[in-house]
Amino acid sequence: MATATARQGRYGRWGGPRELFEAFISWSGDDEVQEALQEADARADFAEFLLGAMRTAMLKGYNQAAPQWDRYMGVEPAQDFREHRIKGVAGMAGIAHVGELGDYKEMRRAKRPTASYAVDTYGGVYSLTRHLIINDDTRELLSRTPRDMGEAMGRFVTRTAIALIESNPNAPDGAAMYSISRGNESANALSEDSLADMFGWMENQLDENGDEIVITPEVMAVKNLRMQLIAKRIVRSQDTGATVNYTAAAGVGSDKFDKGTMNPLAGILPEGSILRDPYYQDAQDYYLFADANRTPAFIMAFLDGNRNPFVGLKQPEVRGALPAAGDDPYTYEIDTLDFKVRHDFGAAVVDPRGTARGKPA
């Protein structure tokens, strides 16, 4: 395969459209992309393989935005852009003694308020002019454009998810998702006591039948390293470093409960479950989430379940009526290379029972 710099043709130093994109591939420095191009060399559907290489670059950028919302938000597919509903089905109750030849009672199922979600389209376009392409001595514009567009989309999706959580929207029951009155919000700073209270609330909830639902927190999300280290100290240290010296003064007896020197919260969260996510805005807030596959507090929905965005390149078929000076390939339609990134998704609230937050005053 000849190098792009050896050609002096319709695209200046890059020759024709194929050579232009060979340059794009060679500058990417990506082994997967290089293999795709080599395979495309022996195929007639070169353009399709080329777009595949662009998509690989875009997905690398998309994942480089470091989204972590899928650790604590559920994921739902949407068949179209209309509103979809998640039925608020509660657990079943009604088990009773039957005995020998006794009657079996009809079991019952309570209902919860119905959650709804919808997806919409988000995206953008970016054009490289022929001047930029010809002057691109750094050889970065073509290779970085799909990757940077993917990263921008990744940031947008993550910010959408986090903004919904932090906005404290109304839950399907009409009340705020987080509140002191609901019981899933603490005004205290992150500590052994505040974390124990939040765990206690989540694990001691009852459903509409009055039955225990036993929701256990699986993930904690905080904004910065300091909060993550505090959380890790709380749930990983075996010793609190406290010294307890009870006296009988002021009605304090030896039966008083206290943390003591042993840390009772050690291991209360699974290993690797304390997430540091810089997309959160408040440096002091901390969030607990239950297993999103069982009790999702929030969900992200994607059209046809496709979690990856689309990236495309506009390729007009119209050509110039007369040869231009220097055999210029830029046609009536195209004085630019036009990239598009597009994603169909939405975020929604589902169940306040699956989350709690600390928001210090």
pLDDT digits 0-9 by tens, 303-361: 999 999 988 877 644 343 444 444 444 444 557 778 889 999 999 999 999 999 999 98
3-class DSSP state of 250: helix
Banded pLDDT at 139 (limits 50, 70, 90) = low
> Which helix H or strand E contains 222, and what residues bound it?
strand 217-222
Residue 94 has a pLDDT of 87
Q: Which residue has the tokens 């293999």?
A: 35
Q: What is the residue-wise DSSP string for 98-132? A: --TT-PPPPPEEEEEEEEEE--EEEEEEEEEEHHH
**347-357 residues labelled b (16+ CB within 10 A) or e (exposed):** bbbbbbbbbbb
Percentage of the chain exceeding pLDDT 70:
71
Mean pLDDT of 111-120: 91
Alpha carbon distance 128, 140 (integer Å): 12
Mean pLDDT of 118-145: 80
Residue 15 has a pLDDT of 43
pLDDT at 58 over 80: yes
Instruction: Name the percent of the chain in helix, strand, coil, to the closest 5.
Output: 30, 25, 45
Residue 68 has a pLDDT of 92
- Which residue type does 319 have? R
pLDDT at 3 over 50: no
Residue 322 has a pLDDT of 42
Alpha carbon distance 298, 43 (integer Å): 45
Highest mean pLDDT among 18-27, 108-117, 290-299, 332-341: 290-299
Residue 211, Cβ density class (10 Å: 0-12 exposed, 13-18 middle, ≥19 buried):
middle
Summarised one tens digit per residue, pLDDT across range 200-242 is 999 999 888 888 888 999 999 999 999 999 999 988 877 665 5
Summarised one tens digit per residue, pLDDT across range 22-57 is 555 554 555 555 555 455 444 444 445 556 667 788
Of 62, 56, 65, the C-alpha closest to 143 is: 56
355-358/84-93 β-pairing:
unpaired
3-class DSSP state of 310: strand
Q: Which residue has the tokens 């479950």?
A: 273
Residue 45 has a pLDDT of 46
Q: Model-level pTM? A: 0.77
Bigger pLDDT: 11 vs 343:
343
Bigger pLDDT: 295 vs 43:
295
Percentage of the chain exceeding pLDDT 90:
46
